[in-house]
Amino acid sequence: MNNKRSDNFDKFSNKKKGSAVKEEYRQEKKKAKVESRAAGEAARQRKKDKERGIIVEPVGNNKRGSFSKKETVSAPPTYLMPLRAKEYPSKATEQAEKAAKYGADKRTAGPRTIAGKKVRTPESMDRADVKRTASIGKVTANTEAPHDQMPLNKFIAHSGISGRREAAELVKAGHVTVNGDTILEPGYKVQYKDVVRLKGKVLQLQVTPVYILLNKPKDYICTASDPEGRKTVMDIIKNATTQRMFPVGRLDRNTTGVLILTNDGDLAQKLTHPSYEIKKIYEVTLDKPVTKADLEAIAAGMELEDGFIAADAVSYLSNTSKNIVGIEIHSGRNRIVRRIFEHLGYDVRHLDRVMFANLTKKNVDRGKWRFLAEKEVRLLKFMNKSFTRKSAQ
């Protein structure tokens, strides 16, 4: 009986604990990875050997890694002779082979010139050049620091026309000119001052898009420059970027609040075009209390000198002071809020835009600015339905 208990105790004490089992599993997994990596390396080596003119034959039971090598019967070219691992043909050997292949054909043998500039042919491009030429993708170029040289197909891609591979096809098809000369080499180096045309249209590098939200103060005008020397909103953001910026929409000189500045023309068009009906909310301080009848008139709509206008919403902002109201409107007509209240006999003492599209001046003091976050820009570009009015059916 004691022997039986002893045997059971020995089985229990000798049983592998959880940590030991996990460690054994990790070691087996690690060993399997090493074997798999070795098999992959062997497969890659066989592929290289085959490209270099070496026949790979299975031996034995044809297990993984059980291969032998022998040289081909026909003598391969010099640059395909069997090489040691990680060894490649020398530069001199490659040049000798090219000379033997191309002879005295100057059109394809190494560097040549187009429009007085030295150009490399695809045959003379190194591996890195070929890899860059074949890459795909539209990249937004930053032209704050002008480039010295850039491959032609890359220049086209950075102009927003297509990816680099498609750009290379356009070049080879003869659709691209540089300084008036047709260029057929995608790798042709474009200088900063060169004029590149695609089917007659001048191409320009895209600039890095910049988006700024400004809490505009009084006495600043919304223009890039003023011949009268008055202060402009550009004076406030002059240290923000070297890009050429412009305001999206305009606020009167004495109107304060949310203003967007950008160099993205497409977005500016969306935010200002009447068809998008972008929502704007203003806080209006008047010279006297606004009557409830006038609020109802503003909501119902009225006829001004430039046509009918109705607010999307209007209400008092305080139960105690009825000379401060909030108005939501999507029209972008010039001085429209001021003209609505002036039409009803009120004098606007102060006008502050508290929201434009989905943007507010929260955490931005008067006269200060900040860059828009990526999420904010994305919402503006896709015109989120939460801040756009539905068009009338």
Catalytic (active-site) positions: 252
Half-sphere exposure of 285 (CA within 13 A, CB side): 9
**Angle, CA of 354, 335 and 251, to the nearest 5°:** 50
What's the CA gap between 80 and 48, in Å, rounded? Answer: 10
Which contacts qualify for 94-98: CB closer than 8 Å, 24 or more apart? Answer: 98/123, 98/124
* Sequence-separated (6 or more) residues with CB below 8 Å from residue 286: 323, 324, 325, 341, 346, 347, 348, 349
**What angle, rounded to 10 degrees, do the helices at 265-272 and 374-382 form?**
60
Strands 348-356, 302-304: pairing is unpaired
Q: Are 108 and 185 in contact (CB under 8 A)?
A: no
Strand partners, 305: none
Q: Which two tokens stand for residue 192?
A: 């900063």
Q: Which two tokens stand for residue 19?
A: 């940590």
What's the CA gap between 334 and 339, in Å, rounded? Answer: 9
In the chain, the amino acid numbered 28 is E
SS3 per residue for 162-175:
CCHHHHHHHHHCCC
**Angle, CA of 73, 74 and 79, to the nearest 5°:** 120
Q: Which two tokens stand for residue 104?
A: 């005295």
Q: Are 387 and 279 in contact (CB under 8 A)?
A: yes
**Angle, CA of 263, 266 and 267, to the nearest 5°:** 75
DSSP 56-73: EEE-TT--TT-EEEEE-S
Phi, psi of 354 (to 5 degrees): -100, -15
Q: How far is CA 271 from CA 171, 370, 391, in A?
A: 36, 19, 15
Helix, strand or coil for residue 320? coil
